[in-house]
Amino acid sequence: MSLLRNKLLAICLLFFFCACKKENISLSYTELNTDIDTKLRGVYFFNETTGFVCGGEKIETGIILKTIDGGASWQQVYSSSLALRDIAFVNDSLGFACGDSLLIVKTTDGGNTWNKLDLPYTPVIIAPLNSVQFRDAQHVYICGGENSDRGIALRTADGGTWWDYQAFYNTEVTENYFTNDTTGYITANGAVFKATADVLTNNYLNIEGDFFTSVCFTSADEGFVCGYDGGIYKTSDAGASWKQVRKDNSAFSARTHFNKIRFADSAKGFAVGNSGAVYYSDNAGETWKLSDNFPDENLYSIFVLNNSTCFISGYGGKLYKVSF
């Protein structure tokens, strides 16, 4: 009886191993040397040659670096005692970055100089800001949070002079993503909200069970969220319903903690996370394959340049240029 049980166990393990191996791929990438050793939480490139990374250590150091030679060399264009967590540009001149303790900085000269913006009031929640997104030069959306129950979303309609905010007292907010001038989505601990341009949050969507960390849409109707518990979820009806296209972590698999999800077009997408997790889909997010050749470092952000190139940033100053 024991021999039979051992044989069955060996067959199950072999089947499991083969099934896992079948899902793996090896993406082609080049590591870009940033010459720093800190968390790079945000990345943005104008083109193949000019780009930015931001990061730092919490309540210790914050930096923004710029390259004009495709990542061969970098210049520090901003430093702070507060870490930066995201960076985005609306055009070649105007950009914003955000970080710890409600830090917001702005550039109007293509990222050569950055100035800290002072909020015209003190919000009830002081927390790291994780995500910045533009509708246009005047309308900017930023959100963040900490400790699972302290979230905040901010909005400006005048380029950063005045900011409205919405406090989330019971959940940490992780990212916002507007699909057009009137509709956006906000991920949080255990919830995804649907927002309008004038109301930062007004609707809980029918999805739960994960610490949702990132959201992106490929059209007005089709979008994705990922979570720290390892799930990837897809909607085809603007958030009215969701299906799980990558299962949560289980006791029988290596644990995956996703930090960011982005798509290059309607078919090709990436989700990255801790311990070198890089997942790729080429069939509109229906299935996902692990790229098993990335170093075992936490990966925080993705910037998709075009439908064949993206950049992934992570722990210890790591930055990868990925071809797909």
Which CATH number fits the domain that encloses residue 73?
Answer: 2.130.10.10
CA dihedral 56, 149, 176, 48 (to 10 degrees): 20
The answer as to whether 18 is a domain residue is: no
Q: Which domain holds residue 157?
A: 28-323
Separation of alpha carbons 139 and 176, rounded Å: 13
Residue 170, pLDDT > 70, answer: yes
SS3 248: coil
Confidence of residue 41 (pLDDT cuts 50, 70, 90): very high
Domain count, the chain: 1
Q: Which residues share a beta bridge with 303?
A: 311
| pLDDT higher than threshold 60 for residue 168 | yes
Specify the pLDDT at position 181.
85
Above 80 in pLDDT, residue 9? Answer: no
In a domain, 75, yes or no: yes
Cβ pair 174, 145 in contact under 8 A: yes
Q: What's the rounded mean pLDDT across residues 283-300?
A: 97
Q: Is residue 5 part of a domain?
A: no
36: pLDDT strictly greater than 50:
yes
Instruction: Please indicate, yes or no, if residue 19 is contained in any of the structural domains.
Output: no
The confidence score (pLDDT) of residue 14 equals 44
On whether residue 197 sits in a domain, the answer given is yes
Task: Confirm whether 68 is domain-assigned.
Answer: yes
User: Is 113 a domain residue?
Assistant: yes
The answer as to whether 292 is a domain residue is yes
Q: What is the mean pLDDT of residues 65-76?
A: 98
Mean pLDDT over each residue of the chain, to the nearest integer: 92
Tell me the DSSP string of 105-116.
Answer: EEESSTTSS-EE
